[in-house]
C-alpha cells in the first residue's frame, strides 16, 4: 500500500507521508517519502507523532517497528523547509515538538525496533536513539552532519548521543559530521546488530518473535528501570530495581502481605468505614499545633 492510498488495508491507518499498520502484537511505522530519502518534513514529523500516539493508546501491541520506504531509513529533517519554520522563537517551539516526539517514542510501554536501511542521519539517527533496539543493513550509513549546514541537532543528537557513546565520541560525530558505516555504530554500542542487506526484514521478524515469547509485564518493567536508572545515581537506580522485583512477585501471584490492607483502605475510604475513620481520627490533628 502506498502512503497516499485512499483505502486502508486491514490494520492500517491512513496518513499522507507515512504508513501505520498493526499486525497482531506488532505495529509498524514506515516513513514514506522515498523521493527525498524520507526526510522529516513538518507534515511527516506531525504524522509521526500522531502514529506514535496511536501505538501508545493500543492495548494489543507489544512491539513497534519503525522503518523507511525506498531503501532509506531517514535522511533527517527536511532542511529545505527550515526557512519556513519562522523566527527564533518559532524554531524553538518546533524543536520542542520534536523533543516531545522523541520522548514519546522512548517512553512507549512497547518494545521499539528501528529497522535501518540506507541513510540514518540527523533526525533519522535521533529516531534510532529513542528506540530500544536497532537492526541495520551492511549498507546503512549514519551520522550527524548538521554542522555543515550551520545548524545544531535539536532532539537527541547531542543529549541522547553523549549518553550512549560518551562525550568525546559525541563531539567527534557532531563536530566533524562524517558518515559512518553501520558496523561502527555496533562497535560504539549505538546500534545492536548489522545484517546482510537482504536479511533485514527476516532479522527484525526473528527479534520480534523472541521478544513476543517473553513475559510482557517483565519487559515493560525492565524497560522502565533500565531507562530511568541510567539517568540516576546508583542508589536511586537500585531503588527502581528492588521495587520492580516486588512488583514482579506481586503480579506473579505472591501479592498477599500480612500487614498490607490488600485494597481495604480504598474500600473503607469509599464507604467511610470504621478503619478509615479510626486512622483519620488519629492523624487529622497530629502535630498540627
- Catalytically active residues are 126, 146
**CA angle in degrees (0–180, nearest 5) for 249-251-254:** 45
Please name the residue that has the C-alpha cell 487529622. 284
H helix intervals, 64-177: 88-106, 123-129, 159-165, 167-176
Nearest one of 187, 17, 43, 48 to 130, comparing CA atoms: 48
Nearest one of 209, 40, 238, 11 to 120, comparing CA atoms: 40
Strands 141-143 and 180-181, sheet pairing: antiparallel
Question: Could you report how far apart the first and last alpha carbons of the chain are, in Å?
Answer: 70
**CB contact set of 225 (below 8 Å; sequence gap of 6+):** 237, 240, 241, 244
The torsion angles phi and psi of 41, rounded to 5 degrees, stand at: -70, 170
Q: Is the distance from CB of 241 to CB of 226 less than 8 angstroms? A: no
Q: What is the dihedral of CA 93, 99, 105, 108, to 10 degrees?
A: -90
**Percentages of the chain per state (helix, strand, coil), in multiples of 5:** 50, 15, 35
Q: How many CB atoms lie within 10 A of CB 103?
A: 13
**CA angle in degrees (0–180, nearest 5) for 177-119-208:** 125
Amino acid at each position: 500500500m502506498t502512503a497516499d492510498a485512499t483505502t486502508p488495508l486491514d490494520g492500517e491507518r491512513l496518513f499522507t507521508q507515512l504508513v501505520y499498520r498493526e499486525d497482531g502484537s506488532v505495529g509498524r511505522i514506515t516513513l514514506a517519502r522515498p523521493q527525498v530519502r524520507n526526510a522529516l518534513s513538518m507534515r511527516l514529523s506531525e504524522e509521526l507523532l500522531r502514529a506514535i500516539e496511536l501505538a501508545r493508546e493500543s492495548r494489543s501491541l507489544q512491539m513497534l517497528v519503525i522503518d523507511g520506504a525506498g531503501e532509506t531509513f531517514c535522511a533527517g529533517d527536511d532542511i529545505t523547509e527550515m526557512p519556513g519554520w519562522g523566527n527564533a522563537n518559532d524554531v524553538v517551539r518546533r524543536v520542542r515538538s520534536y523533543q516531545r516526539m522523541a520522548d514519546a517514542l522512548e517512553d512507549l510501554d512497547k518494545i521499539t525496533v528501528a529497522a535501518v536501511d540506507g541513510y540514518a542521519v540527523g533526525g533519522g539517527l535521533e529516531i534510532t536513539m529513542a528506540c530500544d533496539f536497532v537492526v541495520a543493513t551492511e549498507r546503512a550509513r549514519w551520522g550527524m552532519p548538521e554542522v555543515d549546514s550551520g545548524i545544531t541537532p535539536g532532539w537527541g543528537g547531542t543529549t541522547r548521543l553523549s549518553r550512549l557513546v560518551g562525550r568525546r565520541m559525541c563531539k567527534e560525530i557532531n563536530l566533524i559530521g562524517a558518515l559512518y558505516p553501520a558496523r561502527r555504530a555496533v562497535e560504539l554500542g549505538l546500534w545492536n546488530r548489522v545484517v546482510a542487506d537482504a536479511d533485514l526484514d527476516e532479522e527484525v521478524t526473528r527479534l520480534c518473535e523472541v521478544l513476543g515469547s517473553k513475559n510482557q509485564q517483565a519487559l515493560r518493567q525492565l524497560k522502565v528501570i533500565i531507562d530511568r536508572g541510567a539517568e540516576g545515581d546508583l542508589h536511586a537506580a537500585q531503588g527502581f530495581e528492588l521495587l520492580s522485583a516486588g512488583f514482579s512477585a506481586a503480579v506473579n501471584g505472591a501479592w498477599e502481605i500480612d500487614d498490607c490492607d490488600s485494597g481495604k483502605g480504598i474500600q473503607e475510604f469509599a464507604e467511610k468505614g470504621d478503619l478509615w475513620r479510626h486512622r483519620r481520627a488519629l492523624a487529622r490533628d497530629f502535630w498540627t499545633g
